[in-house]
Amino acid sequence: MQVLHLFALFTFASAKLLLSYNASAGDPASVLGQQNLQGWDRATWPAGQKQNASAFFTTATDPNGVPAAHVHKDAHFIRSEYHMLVEKTAADQTYYIGYHVSFGTGVDYESCPIVFQWKNYNPDTVDTDDIPVLLAFQKGSTADQYIISFAAEADPSADDLLSQETLWTKEVTHGTAYRFGIVINTSATSGFVQLYFNGKLSTMISPSTGEHTTKYSGNFFPGRSEPKVGLYGGQATNACDSYIYNVVIGTTLADIADVADIST
Ligand SMILES: *[C@@H]1O[C@H](CO)[C@@H](O)[C@H](O)[C@H]1NC(C)=O
Ligand SMILES: *[C@@H]1O[C@H](CO)[C@@H](O)[C@H](O)[C@H]1NC(C)=O
Ligand SMILES: *[C@@H]1O[C@H](CO)[C@@H](O)[C@H](O)[C@H]1NC(C)=O
């Protein structure tokens, strides 16, 4: 009894999570950080105006009644996201991000492609390296095939705004919950990214070199870069909904083991 008690205290004290959102515990979405909404055909969201039925991100339930943040944006609306770790990331760190999410009807490559971004906020490099790491939907071979991809840009000096390489893809279905574990090491000289999907470390394939790896090397920290979850991008066609059960960010794999279903 005593030993168990001490063990519980120790594990609690050693877990220095940078962020934890747990819909089942009733956490408000605001624990994720700063809400970012953007309007009709990229219109700026009016300052001080709250979310509304056109774009919102709020703790509710998924269509089966399971507690989740319900993320929504109407057709034409460009953004419904939370910006996490605002001004809290640095070079020479390793960030472990666990993301338990399901995608609702409407989510596709045309209407809301980007569901996770590691976004560059450094004005000096953003023009050539806008989103160093992302999870995004890609066009499938039929209209009802939904392909999610993990992509990253290893070289911030490559002179193209969107020159990320697609390193991994997976066919997913609407209404199924998936667990992502994204690892980003922000060293300029020995940085890397890794991806866990439903608890398994993924093999990534570089389209430019053909390299197969579970650790893709590069510089993923072109100055201030921070993670975002939600729904971003796309144009007219569909309203989009996603359901986020948990997001956790820590500094060890153990920090995300539960949410990303990784055995450590
Ligand atoms: C989330 O909260 C629920 C209810 O308190 C709890 O059972 C569950 O273990 C929590 N999940 C995580 C990953 O902390
Ligand atoms: C929500 O606010 C946006 C931005 O002001 C506006 O364009 C949109 O029409 C509003 N939607 C509703 C349902 O009120
Ligand atoms: C980042 O990765 C390098 C190896 O590529 C490693 O030496 C370094 O310790 C890592 N940094 C952190 C903070 O984990």
Distance between Cα 50 and ligand 3 center (Å): 40
For a substitution probing ligand 3, which of 190, 219, 253 has the most ligand atoms within 8 Å of its CB? 190
Query: Which H or E element spans position 9?
Result: helix 2-14
Q: Which uninterrupted H or E stretch holds 218? A: none
pLDDT of residue 1: 39
Here the tokens at position 205 are 């394939």
Q: pLDDT tens, 130-174?
A: 999 999 999 999 988 999 999 999 998 876 655 789 999 999 999
Q: Can you give the pTM of this predicted structure?
A: 0.94
**Inter-residue contact 33 to 86 (CB < 8 Å):** yes
pLDDT for 160 equals: 64
Instruction: Say if residue 9's pLDDT is above 50.
Output: no
What are the helix (H) ranges across the chain?
2-14, 253-260
**C-beta atoms surrounding 106 within 10 Å:** 20
What number of CA atoms fall less than 13 Å from residue 262's CA on the CB side?
Answer: 25
| CB of residue 258 inside a 6 A radius of ligand 1 | yes
Indicate which ligand has the atom closest to the C-alpha of 185: 3
In whole angstroms, give the CA distance from residue 235 to residue 52: 19
Q: Measured from the CB, is residue 138 less than 6 Å from ligand 1?
A: no
Identify whether the C-beta of residue 234 lies closer than 8 Å to the C-beta of residue 80: no
pLDDT, one tens digit per residue, over 14-40 is 458 999 999 999 999 999 999 999 988
Regarding the beta carbon of 120 and ligand 1, being less than 6 Å apart is answered no
Q: What is the pLDDT of residue 244?
A: 99
The ligand 3 atom nearest the CA atom of 185: 1
Q: Are 117 and 134 in contact, with CB atoms under 8 Å apart?
A: yes
Buried b (16+ CB within 10 A) or exposed e, 2-12: eeeeeeeeeee
Nearest by Cα to 78 from 34, 49, 44: 44
Predicted local confidence at residue 161, as pLDDT:
56
Index of the ligand 3 atom closest to the CA of residue 186: 1
Measured by CA distance, the residue closest to atom 2 of ligand 1 is 25
Closest CA to 58 of 258, 242, 249, 226: 242
Q: Nearest Cα to 241, choosing from 17, 50, 63? A: 63
Give the whole-angstrom CA distance, residue 158 versus residue 163.
Answer: 7
Q: Any idea which ligand is nearest the CA of 239?
A: 2
* Separation of alpha carbons 106 and 148, rounded Å: 14
**pLDDT above 70 (res 179):** yes
Query: What is the pLDDT of the chain when averaged over all its residues?
Result: 92
The residues lining ligand 2, judged by C-beta closer than 6 Å to any ligand atom, are: 39-40, 45-46, 49, 52-54
- Cα of 132 vs centre of ligand 3, distance in Å, is 18
163 burial type by CB count under 10 A (0-12 exposed, 13-18 middle, 19+ buried): middle
Q: Which ligand is closest in space to the CA of residue 42?
A: 2
Structure tokens at 140: 């499938």
The lowest-confidence range among 178-182, 231-235, 243-247 is 231-235
Which ligand sits closest to the CA of 255? 1
User: Phi and psi dihedrals of 200, rounded to 5?
Assistant: -105, 135
The ligand 2 atom at the shortest distance from the C-alpha of residue 52 is 1
Q: Among the atoms of ligand 2, which is closest to the Cα of residue 53?
A: 13
What pLDDT is attached to residue 107?
93
Please work out whether the CB of residue 22 comes within 6 Å of at least one atom of ligand 1.
Answer: yes
Which atom number of ligand 2 is nearest to the Cα of residue 77? 7
